[in-house]
Amino acid sequence: MSVHLSEEEQLEAMKRWWKEYGKTIIISAVVAVGAYFAWNAWQDQQRNKAEAASATYEELLEVVSVDPGQTLSDAERSTAEHLAAELKAGDSTSLYAHNAAFFLAKIAVTQGDLDKAVTELRWVLSQKPDLATEQLANLRLARVLLAQQNYDEALTLVQTPPTTGFASEYAEVHGDVLKAKGDLDAARTAYEKALSSTTPQQQERSMVLQMKLDDLKQPTASIVSSTATPEETAE
């Protein structure tokens, strides 16, 4: 009899407990299940978004890939600009978007629109990209600013050595800006640093830097302008 009463008491206690906490448990379970499916849906959405961006970027690469010495046709340029704008609008924090802006800047330089190139490169920097992308954007922006004869701002972008693999390029542009400003001794030092930072595989680059150093040995009146060509500015 006592066992029977004990079981009844336990059953009654469980009923009271369920009445007090049952609704909370059900709600918690529903929320947990909903969160699980929402997380999976978000992951699927992100994966689909990334796959779409990858496909768009591959299409962009195909459009802008031209043989050396050739330029994009008007139709190709229009298509490239459309695809790049689509990537930038899709996810401004992605590497696809940043590279798309680099392509837009390069196209702008080849068209002589340096202001647009500056805008695109500043946009990349405004997105707080990874360090390598940031330093590449600074390097390219410095080249465009040099072409615009905005020497002081260009100098601030390249006078601090980078922590990524652009040491030689930074030193070269640093030298170009100093040369344009008329500080030939400092330019020579920068070019020497750029040359010493090249690798054995960069023979062509080493030759260009040596030519810039040799050029500084000529009389001042014969030294050619350091303003980059459109091809150099876009790289």
Please, what are the domains in the chain? 1-129 (no CATH), 137-235 (1.25.40)
pLDDT tens digits for range 197-235: 998 889 999 999 999 999 998 655 444 444 455 556 656
Which pLDDT band holds residue 84 (cuts at 50, 70, 90)? very high
**Can you give the pLDDT at residue 235?**
67
**Exposure string over 83-111, b if 16+ CB within 10 A, otherwise e:** bbebbbebebebebbbbbbbbbbbbbbbe
**Can you give the pLDDT at residue 18?**
61
Looking at the predicted structure, is the pLDDT value of residue 101 above 90? yes
For residues 119-129, give the mean pLDDT.
96
- Percentage of the chain modeled with pLDDT above 70: 72
**Can you give the pLDDT at residue 19?**
67
Which pLDDT band holds residue 45 (cuts at 50, 70, 90)? low
For residues 29-40, give the mean pLDDT.
63
46-53 long-range Cβ contacts below 8 angstroms, 24+ apart: 49/90, 49/91, 52/90, 53/87, 53/90, 53/91, 53/94, 53/96
**Can you give the pLDDT at residue 147?**
96
- Distance from C-alpha of 173 to C-alpha of 101, rounded to nearest angstrom: 21
**Can you give the pLDDT at residue 140?**
97
What end-to-end distance do the CA atoms of the chain give, in Å? 93
Burial bucket for residue 140 (CB in 10 Å: 0-12, 13-18, 19+):
buried
For residues 119-140, give the mean pLDDT.
96
Write the CB contacts of 106 (distance below 8 Å, at least 6 apart in sequence). 117, 234, 235
**Can you give the pLDDT at residue 23?**
65
**Can you give the pLDDT at residue 34?**
63
Residue type at 164? T
pLDDT tens digits for range 4-31: 556 666 666 666 666 676 667 667 666 6
Length of the chain as a residue count: 235
Looking at the predicted structure, is the pLDDT value of residue 37 above 90? no
In the 8-state DSSP scheme, what is residue 220? Answer: G
pTM equals 0.75
Nearest 5 degrees, angle CA 9-CA 12-CA 13? Answer: 85
